[in-house]
A and B are shown apart, each in its own frame.
Chain A
């Protein structure tokens, strides 16, 4: 792996917080790491999301609504 291959990613990386005396190569290396990290993370974020998370939150929300409705019925009895 060399710098030329890593710098193929074109997405902008986070601003490097390097010391002022850091050389150009060091800045470019950190920027290349930033771009690769963003590309890597973007793939993870965009990966298909299992349905079970939506199902879980929907069930929790339905349970909440159900318990509220039951509470109203109990109050009327």
Chain B
């Protein structure tokens, strides 16, 4: 039976859980349904959580399983009409930085879900490669390759300049 402190621990992770859900589904309303269902499932399965391990990773695993079992098709159906988070959750700050984030968010939505989730888990949620591998139920090598492909795709979509320098030229530059 969950203790009161377990309730507090769940509450302390709810913001991160919701952020992951929005990143995964691309929909705020679906994300809220996902979070609600995940909290219910976590509560009723609290005895399965191993103290000392990452509660965040455990909750993300639950949410991800629910998403891929029940919500993935729905999210594709509602994504356009729901108003993506770039417009629903506007960014405070000057106009230019707002536009930058919107460009970035638009690029994120174009990534395959499996790449977007790995990018989010490693680059933003603070999970280790090992924890991300457990959440996504794949090996660490797969996590690394998905992360690499996600970054390369974003570089392409955002038209970032990554022209490689010839090795000889790099040597000259270092020497100079």
Contacts and interface: CB of A to CB of B under 8 A. Distances in A.
A53 to B, nearest CB: 5
Q: Is the interface of B mostly helix, strand, loop or mixed?
A: helix
Contacts of A5: 96, 99-100, 103
Given A38-B124, A41-B23, A9 B16 contact: no
B161 interface: yes
Nearest to A16: B151
Assign chain B's interface to a size class: 35 or more
Contacts of B100: 1, 5-6, 8-9, 36
Interface in A31-66: 32-34, 36-41, 43-47, 49-50, 52-54, 56-58, 60-61, 64
Q: Is the interface of A mostly helix, strand, loop or mixed?
A: helix
Assign chain A's interface to a size class: 35 or more
B168 interface: no
Contacts of B162: 23, 25-26, 29
Contacts of A47: 18-19, 89
Contacts of B16: 45
Contacts of B10: 57
Interface of A: 1-3, 5-6, 8-9, 13-14, 17, 21-26, 29-30, 32-34, 36-41, 43-47, 49-50, 52-54, 56-58, 60-61, 64, 68
9 contacts: A1-B158, A1-B160, A6-B104, A9-B97, A33-B155, A40-B105, A50-B32, A53-B18, A54-B11
